[in-house]
Amino acid sequence: MNIVVLLKQVPSTESFIEIADNKVSVKTDDFKMVINPYDEYAVEEAIKLKEAHGGSVTILSAGLERTIASIRTALAMGADSGVLIQDPAVEECDSLGTARILAAALKQIPFDLIIAGQRAVDGDNFQVGIAVAEYLNIPHISLVTKEEIIDGKIRCHRTVEGGIVVLDAPLPALFTTQRGLNEPRYASLPGIMKAKKKPLEIKTLADIGLDAEKVGKPKTKIVAMKYPPERKGGRIIEGESAQAKAAALVKILHEESKVI
């Protein structure tokens, strides 16, 4: 089975995010860049499926040159090859543009299954993976915590409010990951050594046969960024006993905040 994982490099979730002087982007200089955590689940699941069913795992990303480090990490975990679309157009597009680029690249990569993160933890858009499925005209299932390949189809447990829904999709298909799917492995030292020799292609839009105009102008534009309102530093509730503190809190929540 040929599996393609869509991967994005993002700032680690522990990063302190600072708004840039232009007020519409963030300062990226000091970020520790990592594989998007939801894409890490995708890499792990793809490797597990390859171990069970044979085939290959290809990592596909669109991004800056520094993304190579994250693709190498995925190769060290056990993926077989990588493709990075590096082109000025990548930086300017919105989610739909990114999806068009990835879908064009996928025309050159044979696949039975595509796995993507439910969202990237930088933009939090929840859009790219699903849009890729639409452009390739294949079904998708999002927020998957468990999957199983049975006779040319994939059965997925999809997270919904208060539980799960089980759905089948014929292959080829795309699914997006949800925490709980697996525990991503760490790259082993031999894995890291091997990864250096695994194929990693860098392609431009021209290489994937996509005209920059076909990527489309962004239809969404960030016009301002701000920090969430600072919460007033906590009012610590004092009292002579735990009982007095508990009583004071309940009184405040009822009478002042009116939330209980």
Partner 1 sequence: MSHGCVLAIAEQSDGVFRKITFEVLSEGRRIADSLGCDLTAVVLGAGEDISKELGQYGADRIIVADNQALYEYANDAYTNVLSDIIEKEDPFAVILGSSTQGKDLSARIAARINAPLAMDCIAVRVENSNLVATRPMYGGKILADVALEGKPQIVAIRPNSMSIEKTAKPGSIEKPDINIGKTDLIFIEKKLETGKVDLTEADIVVSGGRGMGSSDFSIIEELAGLLGGAVGASRSAVDEGWRSVSDQVGQTGKVVSPNLYIACGISGAIQHLAGMSSSKVIVAINKDPDAPIFSKADYGITGDLFEIVPLITDETKKLMAS
Q: Is 97 among the residues that bind partner 1 (CB under 8 A)?
A: no
Q: Which of 33, 202, 212, 252 binds partner 1 (CB under 8 A)?
A: 252
Q: Do residues 63 and 186 make contact, with C-beta atoms less than 8 angstroms apart? A: no
Q: Helix, strand, or coil here: 229?
A: coil
Q: Is 55 among the residues that bind partner 1 (CB under 8 A)?
A: no
Residues 15-44 that bind partner 1 (CB under 8 A): 15-17, 19, 26, 37-38
Nearer to partner 1, 126 or 194 (CB): 126
Q: Give the list of residues 6+ apart from residue 128 with CB closer than 8 angstroms, or none.
A: 6, 8, 95, 98, 99, 102, 116, 120
Q: Which of 96, 105, 116, 210 binds partner 1 (CB under 8 A)?
A: 96
Residue 4 C-beta-side C-alpha neighbours within 13 Å: 24
Q: Which residue has the tokens 């503190």?
A: 245
Nearer to partner 1, 163 or 190 (CB): 163
Question: How many residues sit close enough to partner 1 to count as binding (CB under 8 A)?
Answer: 81
**Minimum gap (Å) between residue 227 Cβ and partner 1:** 7
**Minimum gap (Å) between residue 107 Cβ and partner 1:** 16
Please give the DSSP secondary-structure letter assigned to residue 228. P
**Minimum gap (Å) between residue 194 Cβ and partner 1:** 29
Residues 145-204 that bind partner 1 (CB under 8 A): 145, 155, 158-170, 173, 178-180
**Minimum gap (Å) between residue 166 Cβ and partner 1:** 4
Q: Is 121 among the residues that bind partner 1 (CB under 8 A)?
A: yes
Q: Helix, strand, or coil here: 44?
A: helix
Q: Containing H/E element for 213?
A: helix 212-215
Distance CA 59, CA 82 (A): 5
**Minimum gap (Å) between residue 163 Cβ and partner 1:** 4
Closest Cα to residue 47, out of 83, 20, 75? 75
Q: Is 253 among the residues that bind partner 1 (CB under 8 A)?
A: yes
Radius of gyration of the chain from its Cα atoms, rounded to whole angstroms: 22
